[in-house]
Amino acid sequence: MRVNKKKKFRPPPPGPYARLKRGLAWGFSLLALLAAYLLFWPIDVEPVVWTPPTPVAWASNDALAKVERLGVGLAAGPEDVAIDAKGRIYVGLADGRIMRFPPGGGTPELAVDTTGRPLGLGFDSHGLLWIADAAKGLLCFDPQTKALVTHSSEAAGVRFGFTDDLDIAADGTIYFSDASSKFGVEDFKLDLIEHGLNGRLLAYDPTEKLTRVVLGDLQFANGVAVSADQTFVLVVETGNYRVVRYWLTGEKKGQHDVFIDNLPGFPDGISANPRGGFWLALASPRDPLLDSLADSPGVRKVIARLPAFAQPSAKRHGWVLGLDANGKVTHDLQHNAPDSFSPVTSVQEHEGQLYLGSLSFNGFGKIAAPK
């Protein structure tokens, strides 16, 4: 006898409207989660209200269009360039290595590996290479003995978070910057977004082995340069679009003032030139969006929660300014193009050539110094 089995009821597949409804529900859920993240996810960034100076129009030019690229393919990020008494070129790379090139360029060799992130470089009168390493602090390398020594990693009880640049005075004092005691080199954008006063200009005495704070409360303390006559030292405030001068001698000794203000871009490295003036690297033109949000800390905090690739980035615009001893612009060298050598983060003059460093470009640059 045959028994008829009841067939299981299977609901019909959802129609187009039901699928759309389900998709919209998922989409709104994801948008709600994303909005909650952007608005409420806890991060250690507290943007402050500030007032940027009104930008002044600058005409573009192509004076840096013929930059020769050296060391391409070696590794990214030769942020600074230092040249020893024999004319050999030292550059520090993103992977921690400091490479040495023959005079004028050529096949490099490894000088030392800091295992950190070497940024600012400079030789003293004894031939020792001083290194501002973002991760390790103030280091010194002896090319003869190959010894690498950490000399300073904190001042006034505060550890360095982002040791950035340095210059060496005639008396041997190492003036150097800690860009941010709060954010490291991988998070440098967050310091600019926050616009806090986390930077310091410091001085290290190699004889006494002591570090003192020269200036505090700086907005992303960056490039450092001692004047040719040793009367003052300059420190760049990247987020404030200016360079600050600290007097070392004379009636204003111990005081500071603004050397140049309202720059057209984010100033980075600075160095003295043989004529008593300075070369100043601009890493990127100013960002109108960031300026427009100077009085909107809440919006900037949302931007800080975005992944790095979605945050404002440097524009491909090579830019170097020449300044005289009083902070007046003497040269304006640019190349505004997608294939420009950029961002330019340092500039050093040596025997009629300008050597350009870059925090992220794969190689460093060289071009004849203008008259």
371 residues of the chain, pLDDT tens digit each: 455 555 565 666 666 766 666 666 666 555 555 555 455 456 789 999 999 999 999 999 999 999 999 999 887 899 999 999 999 999 999 999 999 999 988 899 999 999 999 999 999 999 999 999 999 999 999 999 999 999 999 999 999 999 999 999 999 999 999 999 999 999 999 999 999 999 999 999 999 999 999 999 999 999 999 999 999 999 999 999 999 999 999 999 999 999 999 999 999 999 999 999 999 999 999 999 899 999 999 999 999 988 888 888 889 999 999 999 999 999 999 999 999 999 999 999 999 999 999 998 999 999 999 98
Flag whether 352 is in a domain: yes
Two tokens, residue 59: 């005409």
Flag whether 361 is in a domain: yes
Angle at 77 between CA 352 and CA 108, to 5 degrees: 65
Look at the chain and report how many structural domains it folds into. 1
Flag whether 287 is in a domain: yes
Residue-number span of the structural domain to which 195 is assigned:
66-368
- Please report how many Cα atoms fall inside a 13 Å half-sphere around the Cα of residue 201, on the Cβ side: 25
User: Model's pTM, two decimal places?
Assistant: 0.89
CA 292 → CA 192, 264, 283, 289, 310, distances in Å?
A: 14, 15, 20, 5, 18
Flag whether 12 is in a domain: no
Flag whether 44 is in a domain: no
What CATH number did the domain enclosing 113 receive? 2.120.10.30
Flag whether 42 is in a domain: no
Flag whether 158 is in a domain: yes
Flag whether 23 is in a domain: no
